């Protein structure tokens, strides 16, 4: 009789253990099913106002659309800006800027990049202004608060001037430029507080005809999870200008609203 009780107790304990294992496995499976996998897509839309200084004193309304796709070792970022320049006594001028960059991660701190940036306009100094570049990139720091990246590589520059629209205060050379270049870029993002971020993007492009230094520095304040206020200043410096009366720098101050999705 005792053997029967022992056998029954063993079967009962085995059933309880199996039921607990099954319940645990089911719970784990349900938890795994409920995990939200982040989308590889990120994007934002920007609407803002600009004030230009330097060789021109103009105002502009700008629109920006930006998207980033990240999957595995690849990261691709595209950006498109549209400006409507407003000048007193002059007709309004429109300009489009766009850029595309693709990165491939080689290791924890290094990657390869290829980038393209361009400007198209029928109303400003250049019909076409294109820059291509490719080379190594280095992620010097990457934490939740601070990211610093540096890129250096050879490239090519193509500029076709709009001779019918050149003004005396435009920094532009009359001839079409086709030349190899060297490009260097330093990017920094710093989350000072939970809702306050500072960024800086510094680029140097040097070729036979000219060397340009461009800085884009700004601060964003998150109003909600998807809406932010942005203040930024863009400065472009040229080591050569076609006329000694021209300033070697142009600046743009921008106030805009960002919507992220």
Number of domains in the chain: 2
| Residue pLDDT, tens place only, 133-151 | 999 999 999 898 999 999 9
Q: How high is the pLDDT of residue 87?
A: 56
Tokens 């999870």 appear where? Answer: 225
- How many angstroms separate the CA atoms of 197 and 219, rounded? 6
- How many angstroms separate the CA atoms of 142 and 139, rounded? 7
| Residue pLDDT, tens place only, 3-12 | 444 334 443 3
| Residue pLDDT, tens place only, 144-197 | 899 999 999 999 999 887 766 556 556 566 778 899 999 999 999 999 988 999
Q: 14 lies in which domain range?
A: 1-35
- Statement to judge: residues 107 and 224 lie in one domain: yes
- Statement to judge: residues 25 and 11 lie in one domain: yes
- Statement to judge: residues 31 and 46 lie in one domain: no
- Statement to judge: residues 106 and 22 lie in one domain: no
- Statement to judge: residues 61 and 9 lie in one domain: no
- Statement to judge: residues 142 and 154 lie in one domain: yes
- How many angstroms separate the CA atoms of 185 and 135, rounded? 11
- Statement to judge: residues 130 and 19 lie in one domain: no
- How many angstroms separate the CA atoms of 58 and 43, rounded? 29
| Residue pLDDT, tens place only, 23-71 | 444 445 455 555 567 788 889 898 888 777 765 666 778 888 989 999 9
- Statement to judge: residues 22 and 115 lie in one domain: no
């Amino acid at each position: 009789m005792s053997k029967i009780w022992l056998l029954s107790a063993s079967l009962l304990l085995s059933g309880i253990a199996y039921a607990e294992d099954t319940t645990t496995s089911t719970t784990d499976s349900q938890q795994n099913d409920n995990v939200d996998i982040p989308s590889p897509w990120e994007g934002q839309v920007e609407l803002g106002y600009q004030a230009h200084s330097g060789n021109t004193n103009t105002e502009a309304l700008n629109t920006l659309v930006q998207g980033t796709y990240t999957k595995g070792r690849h990261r691709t970022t595209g950006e498109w800006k549209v400006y409507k320049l407003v000048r007193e006594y002059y007709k309004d001028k429109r300009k489009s800027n766009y850029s595309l960059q693709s990165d491939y991660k080689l290791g924890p701190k290094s990657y390869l990049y290829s980038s393209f940036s361009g400007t198209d306009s029928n109303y400003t100094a250049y019909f076409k202004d294109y820059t291509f570049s490719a080379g190594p990139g280095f992620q010097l720091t990457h934490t939740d608060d601070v990211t610093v990246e540096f890129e250096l590589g050879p490239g090519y520059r193509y500029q076709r001037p709009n001779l019918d629209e050149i003004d005396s205060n435009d920094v532009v050379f009359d001839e079409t430029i086709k030349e190899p270049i060297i490009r260097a870029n330093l990017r920094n993002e710093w989350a000072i507080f939970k809702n306050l971020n500072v960024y800086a993007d510094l680029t140097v492009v040097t070729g036979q005809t000219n060397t340009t230094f461009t800085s884009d520095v700004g601060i964003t304040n998150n109003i909600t999870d998807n809406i932010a206020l942005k203040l930024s200043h863009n400065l472009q410096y040229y080591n050569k200008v076609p006329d000694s009366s021209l300033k070697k720098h142009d600046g743009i101050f921008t106030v805009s609203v960002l919507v992220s999705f």
